[in-house]
């Protein structure tokens, strides 16, 4: 009896001591510093979704001890130890719930030379607009030619849950490796999605109504199989560019790589009929990066004209690569007849000496977001690439200064409610692409962008892969990686030309 | 118990009894000698190999790094292998640790397999297979995805359960260990968990046989256990959700990707499990100590060492390359030249490049580069992944000042073989000289998580705050001087030496530092039409004419019937005199075939540009 009592007493005391040791209180006696604290990632003065994962951060000041107080305007507060501030998910969710449409403030206290100092607090706003629950991306080294361990992953944005959609290890063999790329979804749903596999067990993997199939889109008439995809918002149609791509290397330029299309055209693939038809195949024009309007009646794309001067197109491309400037076009689409009208020049970037790529229309159809740099077709390698916004309502184009940095901004996607955007940027180190998320308000202004949160605030600093093609999804991909692998190991259905 | 041999034969009956403790003495001496041998082998004989292995193997003291290694079966072995490899930054330290582990393993083997005294040094054979596997490493190390020492970790851990089981009474406890090992061990140890379980299974079989267990019951139990052992990997595949390639389900933890076209590299890896199984099967044959078989232990010792010595990869070019690369890591260019001077008639292109880089760093490139052999011996390996570009480009391009190319090939290597300290170091230095400071910070951050590159990385933080300090670093200052060229968009076609030579041959201008590389490239490629413009850059800048430049000028002027005029005064009289001798020799032997003439000229002029220009042909500068 006595021993049981002592054991219980000891347990109670131990738990109490543990709880006490975990409960931090902010110091009452401190000096106020007139400076902002540096934290990494920079999660200061943001507008964040009401359903985002904890924005864990690291306080970048040297101190004997760091305490951080997080307090919501409309309730909820807790104190955490630094320098790595790891916010418990449950507390974080309560904070966001209690302060939806409100704010929370962060106070950082640092004990330096035995004295407590408080840095200027910062606040983040919590938008009532939620963000799509999932984000998918390919993880790949910022590589040049070779590839090996590749995966397309999906991440739950409300937590740190992350899982493979597909991993090429499932089919890799001794000397046969597989490249995977260009995942895309129909209208943020994953029952209709696609990605490509190259080299080993090559083919385009298309999931239609939840059933995966492998298709070979390359026909005799086309220069390649499908490359950059765009799902029609509601029909079983995918517009693709077909590209004959080449990669060249700068011997000195800090941008290091130039990806060039020798040729490129646009095609439409009718999934149900397994038919491919040509959208654009001008031999001089380089058409690429198709994107549908939300009503499915217009297809947008980028196109540049490049004529060989010497007859050696390959050599000319390497010599005159800086003269390749893409404009953005739109072409009407008759959904019933499945025919396209006459293309219309929408953004004449060439006239201002620029190259505009990756048109993406906001879900309400009002804005067109695109990336623009001085030349070329692959802006992820162009440091001066920025995001630009065309407002169809007043037909104005502006640089999205709120989100741009001195380094690359490239691939971008809208959330399904149009209130958030995710884009690829190399602003952190100039090499490894990271997904940044920014709020987009009803007036067409973007908030300060923030990096995809991770459990460990140092994660992005140590991670040696790039996040490629960040795409929002409303739901997770349900087809298992193994099912994808089995499908890829099977024979491809040969698409036919219409 | 009587010794069996004492019963039989007149001759043996007259043999004097071995004194008590003889086996102990033999076994301890054998183990100690093997320990010394192991230390010598790892820490001295193969020191360059082990140093290179650690440069090609990254271990980070980081939670994420640990979890990354648990993504597929056998990952824990890879983690352990990388952990051990890092200590070979100081080969003697790595050798001490590994030798201690081997010694521990030997003790475990003796206990686990309950080896009788006259067979105790049989335990050295698995150890020798582990050493043999290390010794067999050849050019494949540059394209390997698995840590070499992960196999040693696997072998040790495969024996551990059997060793532990010896201390547990009863069959049930051993069965429990087997079940636990397969269930919990497979995700971490892969193949080696199955091997460990198989060893236990054999042990259980042997024990059951000798005990009064019902034979049918015993067979049924063993069959069920075997089925369980075989069923766990497929079940794990079906239930775990891990992205496992079913093709390698029973081979995870083994270097399945590492030895294309070189199946003999598996010799030691196959032999070791077979030996372990052999030792386990010994328990079927109850073998008591047999004094007359005292010679068995020394035999095992000799066999073990013979296997390692005879089976280890021996290749002069490979060994020289490893030694040169180690010297380059320490910026010890004198050592590189010392290695280049060692007799070797057929160095491969990588050795030629390393030697030239060393000569350049000693300001002797165009003075001495043709005094060494200039050959193109291929890599002596059947591994098709090994190429000059994959192996050499990351380092070579850096020392030629082609920073983007160096960065690229380090990145390509990282893509293929995972991050390595060497790649991270060179990417960091390339980024530093390119003034990509955020990127430098990233690589420093990662390298600071290593044990032995931490200090080096931290020392580079000063450049983040003040990049101007780069010019105070002699090495970086020289390299920066090599980067004063116009950007060019192109491709190296994965033929890196040719790309480098073309780069320097085609330079129109540049710093004095670049001039010597340009001239050496022109001389190497025999780009006659580019020689004179570059020659006159030397003359117009009043730079002393290096010996090979003088030789080339005399030879080309002779062929082109060009009058050198006053330029002759810039030549060394000894070079002029030798050239006269060269002319006389060739002109007086025009009747000889080219091969005969080449052999004749080689005797006196092998170390001149004249011989290289006239008789060294079709060099494969890949």
The pLDDT, as a whole number, for residue A139 is 94
Give me the helix-helix angle, B22-40 and B296-311, nearest 10°: 10
Indicate the pLDDT class of residue A74, thresholds 50, 70 and 90.
Answer: very high
Q: How many CB atoms lie within 10 A of CB B488?
A: 15
Distance CA B249, CA B8 (A): 52
The domain limits of chain A are 30-126, 134-494
Question: What does the pLDDT read at residue A178?
Answer: 85
What pLDDT is stored for residue B212 in this prediction? 59
Give the one of A430, A458, A481 whose C-beta lies nearest to B243's C-beta: A481
Q: Do A172 and B245 touch (CB under 8 A)?
A: yes
Interchain proximity B243–A174, CB inside 8 Å: no
- A406 touches B at CB < 8 Å: no
The packing angle between helices B496-505 and B388-399, to 10°, is 30
**pLDDT given at position A145:** 75
- Render pLDDT for A370-413 as a digit per residue (tens, 0 to 9): 999 999 999 999 999 999 999 999 999 999 999 999 999 999 99
Using beta carbons and an 8 Å cutoff, which residues of B are at the interface with A?
62-64, 72, 243-245, 247, 256-257, 260, 384-385, 402-405, 407-408, 411-412, 414-416, 419, 431, 434, 436, 438-439, 441-442, 445-446, 449, 483, 485-492, 503
Report CB contact under 8 Å: A321, B489: yes
| pLDDT of amino acid A16 | 54
Q: What is the ipTM of this complex?
A: 0.92
CB B123 within 8 A of CB B115: yes
Query: Average pLDDT of A45-49?
Result: 98
Give the number of beta-carbon pairs within 8 Å between A and B: 112
Neighbours of A124 (CB within 10 A): 20
- Proportion of chain B in helix, strand, coil states, percent, rounded to 5: 70, 0, 30
B97–chain A nearest CA distance, Å: 29
Indicate whether A328 pLDDT > 60: yes
**Contact residues on chain B for A249, CB-CB shorter than 8 A:** 404-405, 408, 489-492
**Among B347, B413, B355, B411, CA closest to B379:** B347
Residue B81's pLDDT is what? 97
Torsion sign (Cα): B323, B327, B332, B333: positive
Query: Which 3-state string (H, E, C) describes B472-529?
Result: HCHHHHHHHHCCCCCCCEECCCCCHHHHHHHHHHCCCCCCHHHHHHHHHHHHHHCCHH
First to last CA, chain B: 70
pLDDT at residue A14 in the model: 54
| Alpha-carbon span A44 to A34, nearest angstrom | 16
A429 vs B412: CB contact, 8 Å cut-off? no
Contact of A20 with chain B, judged by CB distance below 8 Å, is answered with no
Q: Which of A166-175, A359-368, A390-399, B421-430 has the lowest mean pLDDT?
A: A166-175
Q: Which residue of B has its CA nearest to A176?
A: B257
Tokens representing B566 are: 């006053």
Which positions in chain B touch A148 (Cβ < 8 Å)? Answer: 415-416
Please list every residue in chain A whose beta carbon sits closer than 8 Å to the beta carbon of residue B243: 151, 164, 167, 169-170, 481
User: Could you tell me which chain B residue has the CA closest to the CA of A150?
Assistant: B415
Q: Do B63 and A456 touch (CB under 8 A)?
A: yes
- Cβ <8 Å between A248 and B491: yes
What's the rounded Cα separation, in Å, for the pair A371 and A412? 8
Average pLDDT over residues A350-370: 97
Radius of gyration from C-alpha coordinates of chain B: 31
- Rounded CA separation B156/B143 (Å): 25
Chain B within 8 Å of A56 (Cβ-Cβ)? Answer: no
A-chain residues within 8 Å CB-CB of B247? 173
Query: Hey, of A41, A84, A146, which one would you mutate to test binding to chain B, going by the most B CBs within 10 A of its CB?
Result: A146
Report yes or no: A248 at the B interface, CB cutoff 8 Å.
Answer: yes
- Please tell me the distance in Å from A395's CA to the nearest CA on chain B: 38
What is the chain A residue with the closest CA to B244? A170
Interface test mutation site (partner A, options B404, B424, B431, B481, max chain A beta carbons within 10 A): B404
Among the partner-chain residues B64, B256, B492, the one whose CB lies closest to the CB of A459 is: B64
Which residues of chain B register pLDDT less than 70?
1-20, 210-213, 286-291, 622
Q: What is the pLDDT of residue B116?
A: 85
Q: Give the CATH architecture of domain A30-126.
A: Sandwich (2.60)
Are B257 and A174 in contact (CB < 8 Å)?
yes
In sequence order, which residues have a C-beta less than 8 Å from that of residue B311 and are 6 or more positions away? Answer: B132, B135, B136, B267, B268
How close is the nearest chain B Cα to the Cα of A167, in Å? 7
CB–CB contact A174 B256 (8 Å): yes
Answer yes or no: do B445 and A461 touch at CB < 8 A. yes
For A134-494, CATH number?
2.120.10.30
pLDDT > 60? residue A12: no
Contact B486 A252 (CB under 8 A): yes
Query: Closest-CA residue in chain B for A484?
Result: B243
Q: Å from A249 to nearest chain B CA?
A: 5
CB distance from A91 to chain B under 8 Å? no
Our CA-based measurement puts residue B218 at a distance from the nearest CA of chain A, in whole angstroms, of: 39
């Amino acid at each position: 009896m006595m021993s049981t009592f002592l054991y219980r007493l000891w347990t109670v005391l131990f738990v109490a001591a543990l709880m006490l040791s975990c409960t931090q209180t902010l110091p009452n006696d401190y000096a106020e510093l007139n400076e902002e604290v540096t934290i990494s990632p920079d999660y200061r003065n943001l507008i964040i979704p009401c359903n985002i994962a904890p924005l864990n951060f690291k306080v970048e000041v040297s101190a004997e001890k760091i305490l951080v107080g997080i307090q919501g305007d409309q309730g909820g507060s807790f104190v955490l130890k630094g320098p790595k501030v790891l916010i418990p998910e449950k507390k974080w969710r309560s904070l966001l719930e209690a302060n939806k449409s409100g704010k929370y403030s962060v106070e950082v206290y640092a004990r330096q030379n035995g004295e407590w100092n408080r840095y200027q607090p910062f606040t983040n706003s919590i938008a009532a607009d939620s963000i799509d629950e999932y984000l998918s991306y390919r993880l790949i080294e910022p590589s040049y030619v070779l590839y090996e361990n590749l995966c397309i992953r999906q991440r739950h944005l409300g937590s740190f849950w992350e899982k493979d959609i597909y991993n090429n290890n499932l089919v890799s063999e001794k000397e046969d490796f597989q490249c995977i790329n260009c995942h895309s979804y129909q209208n943020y749903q994953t029952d209709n999605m696609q990605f490509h596999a190259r080299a080993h067990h090559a083919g385009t993997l298309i999931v239609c109504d939840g059933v995966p199939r492998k298709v070979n889109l390359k026909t005799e008439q086309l220069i390649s199989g499908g490359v950059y995809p765009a799902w029609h918002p509601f029909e079983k149609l995918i517009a693709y560019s077909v590209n004959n791509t080449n990669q060249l290397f700068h011997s000195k330029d800090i941008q290091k790589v130039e990806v060039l299309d020798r040729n490129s055209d646009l095609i439409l693939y009718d999934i149900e009929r397994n038919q491919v038809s040509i959208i654009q195949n001008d031999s001089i024009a380089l058409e690429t990066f198709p994107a549908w309007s939300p009503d499915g009646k217009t297809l947008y794309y980028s196109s540049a004209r490049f004529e060989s001067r010497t007859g050696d197109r390959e050599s000319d491309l390497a010599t005159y690569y800086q003269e390749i400037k893409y404009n953005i076009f739109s072409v009407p689409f008759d959904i019933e007849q499945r025919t396209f009208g006459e293309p219309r020049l929408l953004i004449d970037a060439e006239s201002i000496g620029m190259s505009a790529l990756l048109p993406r229309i906001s879900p309400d159809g009002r804005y067109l977001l695109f990336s623009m740099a001085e030349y070329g077709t692959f802006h992820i390698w162009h440091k001066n690439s920025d995001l630009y916004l065309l407002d169809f309502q007043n037909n104005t184009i502006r640089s999205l200064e709120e989100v741009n940095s001195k380094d690359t901004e490239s691939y971008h996607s809208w959330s399904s409610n149009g209130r958030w955007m995710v884009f690829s940027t190399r602003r952190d180190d100039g090499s490894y692409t990271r997904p940044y998320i920014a709020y987009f308000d009803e007036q067409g202004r973007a908030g300060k962008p923030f990096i995809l949160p991770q459990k460990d605030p140092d994660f992005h600093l140590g991670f040696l892969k790039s996040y490629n093609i960040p795409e929002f999804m409303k739901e997770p991909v349900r087809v298992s990686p193994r099912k994808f692998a089995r499908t890829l190991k099977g024979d491809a259905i040969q698409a036919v030309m219409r | 118990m009587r010794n069996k041999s004492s019963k039989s034969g007149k001759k043996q009956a007259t043999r004097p009894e071995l004194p008590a403790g003889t086996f102990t003495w033999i076994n301890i001496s054998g183990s100690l000698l093997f320990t010394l041998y192991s230390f010598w082998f790892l820490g001295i004989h193969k020191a360059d190999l082990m140093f290179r292995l650690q440069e090609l193997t990254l271990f980070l003291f980081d939670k994420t790094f640990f979890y990354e290694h648990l993504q597929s079966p056998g990952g824990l072995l890879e983690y352990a292998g990388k952990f051990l490899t890092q200590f070979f930054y100081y080969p003697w330290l790595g050798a001490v640790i590994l030798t201690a582990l081997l010694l521990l393993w030997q003790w475990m083997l003796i206990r686990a397999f309950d080896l009788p005294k006259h067979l105790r040094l049989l335990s050295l054979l698995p150890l020798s297979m582990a050493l043999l596997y290390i010794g067999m490493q050849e050019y494949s190390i540059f394209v390997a995805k698995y840590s070499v020492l992960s196999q040693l970790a696997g072998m040790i851990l495969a024996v551990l359960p059997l060793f532990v089981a010896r201390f547990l009474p009863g069959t049930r406890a051993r069965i429990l260990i087997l079940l636990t090992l397969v269930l919990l061990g497979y995700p971490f140890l892969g193949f080696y968990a199955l091997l460990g379980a198989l060893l236990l299974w054999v042990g259980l079989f042997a024990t059951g046989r000798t005990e009064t267990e019902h034979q049918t019951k015993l067979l049924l139990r063993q069959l069920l256990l075997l089925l369980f052992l075989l069923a766990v990997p497929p079940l794990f595949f079906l239930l775990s959700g891990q992205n496992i390639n079913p093709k390698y389900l029973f081979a995870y933890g083994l270097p399945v990707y590492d030895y294309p076209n070189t199946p003999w590299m598996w010799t030691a890896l196959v032999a070791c499990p077979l030996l372990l199984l052999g030792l386990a099967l010994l328990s079927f044959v109850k073998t008591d100590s047999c004094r007359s078989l005292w010679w068995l232990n020394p035999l095992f010792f000799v066999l073990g060492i013979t296997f390692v010595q005879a089976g280890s990869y021996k290749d002069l070019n490979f060994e020289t390359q490893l030694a040169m690369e180690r010297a380059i890591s320490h910026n010890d260019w004198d050592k590189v030249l010392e290695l280049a001077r060692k007799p070797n008639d057929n160095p491969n292109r990588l050795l030629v490049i390393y030697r030239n880089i060393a000569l350049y760093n000693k300001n002797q490139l165009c003075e001495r580069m043709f005094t060494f052999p200039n050959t193109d011996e291929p890599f002596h390996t059947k591994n098709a992944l090994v190429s000059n570009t994959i192996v050499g480009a990351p380092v070579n391009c850096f020392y030629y000042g082609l920073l983007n190319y160096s960065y690229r090939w380090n990145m390509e290597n990282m893509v293929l073989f995972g991050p390595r300290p060497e790649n991270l170091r060179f990417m960091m230095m390339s980024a530093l000289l390119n003034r990509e400071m955020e990127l430098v910070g990233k690589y420093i951050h990662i390298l600071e998580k290593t044990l032995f590159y931490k200090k080096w990385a931290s020392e580079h933080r000063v450049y983040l705050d003040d990049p101007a300090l780069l010019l105070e670093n002699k090495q970086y200052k020289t390299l920066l001087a090599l980067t004063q060229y116009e950007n060019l968009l192109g491709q190296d076609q994965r033929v890196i030496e040719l790309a480098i030579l073309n780069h320097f041959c085609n330079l129109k201008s540049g710093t004095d530092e670049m001039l010597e590389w340009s001239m050496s490239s022109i001389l190497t490629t025999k780009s006659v039409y580019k020689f004179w413009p570059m020659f006159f850059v030397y003359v117009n800048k009043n730079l002393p004419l290096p010996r090979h430049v003088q030789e080339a000028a005399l030879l080309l002027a002779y062929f082109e019937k060009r009058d050198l005029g006053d330029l002759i005064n810039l030549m060394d009289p000894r070079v002029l005199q030798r050239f006269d001798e060269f002319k006389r020799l060739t002109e007086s032997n025009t009747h000889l075939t080219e091969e005969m003439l080449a052999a004749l000229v080689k005797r006196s002029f092998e170390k001149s540009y004249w011989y290289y220009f006239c008789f060294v042909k079709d060099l494969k500068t890949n």
